[in-house]
Amino acid sequence: MEERVEGLWSDVRELNLGTTTEIEHLHNPPTPLCFLRDFVSQNKPCLISNATTHWPALSLWPSNSYLCKALKDSTISLHLTPNGRADALTTFTLPNNKNSLTCFASAFVKRMPFDRALNLIATKTEKKGTVAYMQQQNDCLLEEFGVIAGDVAAEVGWATEAFGCSPEAANLWIGNGESETWWHKDHYENLYAVVSGEKHFLLLPPTDVHRLYVKEYPAAQYTCDDDHDLESGELRLELEEPLRYIPWCSVDPYPSPERRGREMSLYPRYFNGPKPFECTVKAGDMLYLPSMWFHHVRQTPDSEGKTIAVNYWYDMQFDIKYAYFYFLQSISLPSNDPEKAQHPDTEDYKKQQVLQIPIGEQED
Amino acid sequence: MEERVEGLWSDVRELNLGTTTEIEHLHNPPTPLCFLRDFVSQNKPCLISNATTHWPALSLWPSNSYLCKALKDSTISLHLTPNGRADALTTFTLPNNKNSLTCFASAFVKRMPFDRALNLIATKTEKKGTVAYMQQQNDCLLEEFGVIAGDVAAEVGWATEAFGCSPEAANLWIGNGESETWWHKDHYENLYAVVSGEKHFLLLPPTDVHRLYVKEYPAAQYTCDDDHDLESGELRLELEEPLRYIPWCSVDPYPSPERRGREMSLYPRYFNGPKPFECTVKAGDMLYLPSMWFHHVRQTPDSEGKTIAVNYWYDMQFDIKYAYFYFLQSISLPSNDPEKAQHPDTEDYKKQQVLQIPIGEQED
């Protein structure tokens, strides 16, 4: 079976996506018909230039002082982590301090005035222990940044016409070079426009799902007891209670040199298979990120220390492509990971995985 | 694995195609954008009414005398079989008269004046041993019926705009109630318009490929030594030499009562799975038959004894949908057929299958 799945990875590239790491680049926005025919229907990404030239945001938002003035009365949600990795895997040390496990960590989310949040993102301090990211994703362009929403389009005209509906959500993202977004996929068609700075995407098609070793991880949350300590990084990681499991991609595409060997032996289908597609989205460019495509995102800040993007989520079609994906995902391939099988689905297994390690230690 | 594949059959219906045997019916032609979005992109069929109301053929072609007059100087290719089944499985009796095997039989194709061919199709005689069908499929609307091609559209405007290209081929089909087209799929997007009589389609999505038990069958051809015997049915079936193998669907959806039990036990995934979609295309209606969909076709003649259809084949996209299909098809499921495994792919096996049976018998 493994050979057949590997055949699928190469077939989709040879037939349709191309065998390099580049995606197609349109120098102007497509017509709705061409967008549907050449990209959406084929579930194929593209980078589009000159799609946002009419947005006032392109000239206004690079200025931190413009943003702080415009949003001086706004309270926004800031996501804080010690390492720039929210909704990512991290190591959780159990209370006995001897054992650790890998968990899915969510950011500590703190509501605060916009200017304080931007300051946390854009100001480099010598010994900063937290990484801040505005990435609320609940249609936050209107919900939290309503006063500047008019600087960008409320929707992408040609995309709205192609999809036959307005976006389900539009989100604004302000981060810095320390934040990255772990491999994941969304059940939306995504149009992702960079306004300031650059975003660096790694992309893998849905056919490559086994290469990311999706497994269930216990959910954990960063917390902070003292709001005034946000700058000094006093974030604690706590497992959710009751235990909750999140299926998440296992692969870190940029492991530290000392972890690289271990990661490569654990996740050979990722590191030995075809390279991910790579796409840098610059200010003024827009990425069409098709539904169900896995993506990993890093960013380069502008001259004032931040990267800004706006994305539009349009409802996807749960059609034959989705049915095929769901079928493919259901096929188990062997794992080199001694810790757990893929897709563990018994409650017993889950409890054992997290809870029996400390109990065992305590009995010593 | 079998359960997962069965899950795919139900998922694609529950998510997208519907769980009845009906397909969507549009009462007017769609816009190119809606056609792409709601049908082509989703690989989903639909029946379209009022798409050909402007065709002169709708009023002219039901008349046999109009056709004979217009095509009086035309020579066309007539496909002849003893049973109405061309490009279908049939039983071939080996020369020793003791053994038989199932082969893929192609029609005897005879070039003749149009009026003689139409007479063979439309005239019922008491003891007729051949079934005649004009179904040349080599862009025959222009190649063989050029003088009446102007009675229909050269292409389907909204489809041409949606697909971004003109049709690769347009074919004309004139048959009668005796002809049927065995389960198969085409690597084209198909728009199929009925001009006179009715066509009855059974349809299965590409996800259901295992339900048709595609296997390789030796190719055979009907031949006739004496052209004057066409009416009396003196067609002989001959295996091609050298042997050539055709992968073809094994299932006869309408087996005779005495064969039904055997067929149901050989092909349980077909007979016990979800019913095929059913669609009768009446004169004036058009079927969008998506690429890679399996279809089986029967027909009801008009009052002058014939069914006429015109179809347009547009190039398909070999995109992620095709890559998924190809992957799915590569997965072997168990077979109840003792004669052979699915997808036999060694030359030795093939030779053994056809040739060793008579040799064995001769040695007795």
In a domain, A348, yes or no: yes
In a domain, A42, yes or no: yes
Put simply, whether B40 touches A (Cβ < 8 Å) is: yes
Q: Which residue of B has its CA nearest to A318?
A: B15
In B165-224, the residues whose Cβ lies within 8 Å of chain A are: 205-207
Token representation of residue A192 = 């992702």
Put simply, whether B333 touches A (Cβ < 8 Å) is: no
Helix A320-329 to helix B320-329 angle, to the nearest 10 degrees? Answer: 50
Cβ contact B16–A318 (<8 Å): yes
In a domain, A119, yes or no: yes
What's the gap in Å between the CA of A319 and the closest CA on chain B?
Answer: 5
pLDDT digit string (tens) for A310-355? 999 999 999 999 999 999 999 999 887 665 544 444 444 444 444 4
Helices in A61-174 by DSSP H: which ranges? Answer: 64-70, 114-122, 140-143, 157-163
Q: How many CA atoms lie within 13 A of A299 on its CB side?
A: 29
From the list A205, A326, A327, which residue is nearest B320 (CB)?
A205
pLDDT of A334: 85
Sheet holding B24-26, edge to edge: B24-26, B46-48, B286-289, B188-196, B307-315, B169-175
Cβ contact B320–A43 (<8 Å): yes
Cβ contact A320–B321 (<8 Å): yes
Cβ contact A33–B37 (<8 Å): no
- Asked if residue A34 lies in contact with residue A55, where contact means CB atoms within 8 angstroms, the answer is no
- Set of chain B residues whose Cβ sits within 8 Å of the Cβ of A325: 324
pLDDT of A58: 98
Comparing A94-103, A110-119, B55-64, the range with the smallest average pLDDT is: A94-103
From the list B32, B207, B327, which residue is nearest A323 (CB)?
B207
pLDDT of A139: 84
Cβ contact B321–A324 (<8 Å): yes
pLDDT digit string (tens) for B303-332? 999 999 999 999 999 999 999 999 999 999
In a domain, A86, yes or no: yes
In a domain, B65, yes or no: yes
In B4-23, the residues whose Cβ lies within 8 Å of chain A are: 4-5, 7-8, 11-12, 15-16
pLDDT digit string (tens) for B26-63? 999 999 999 999 999 999 999 999 999 999 999 999 99
Give me the CATH number covering residue A187.
Answer: 2.60.120.10
pTM of the model: 0.90
In A110-169, the residues whose Cβ lies within 8 Å of chain B are: 161-164
**Cα(B252)–Cα(B238) distance, integer angstroms:** 22
Domain with A172 in it: 2-354
From the list B44, B164, B327, which residue is nearest A4 (CB)?
B327
In a domain, A287, yes or no: yes
In a domain, A215, yes or no: yes
pLDDT digit string (tens) for A46-63? 999 999 999 999 999 999
In a domain, B359, yes or no: no
* C-alpha distances in Å from residue A67, one per residue of A71, A151, A197, B183: 6, 11, 15, 64
Domain count, chain B: 1
**Cα(B339)–Cα(A220) distance, integer angstroms:** 57
Put simply, whether A336 touches B (Cβ < 8 Å) is: no
- Set of chain A residues whose Cβ sits within 8 Å of the Cβ of B328: 324, 327
pLDDT of A5: 97
End-to-end CA distance of chain A: 43
Q: Which region, left, alpha or beta, applies to residue A61 given φ > 0 means left and ψ of -120 to 50 means alpha? A: alpha
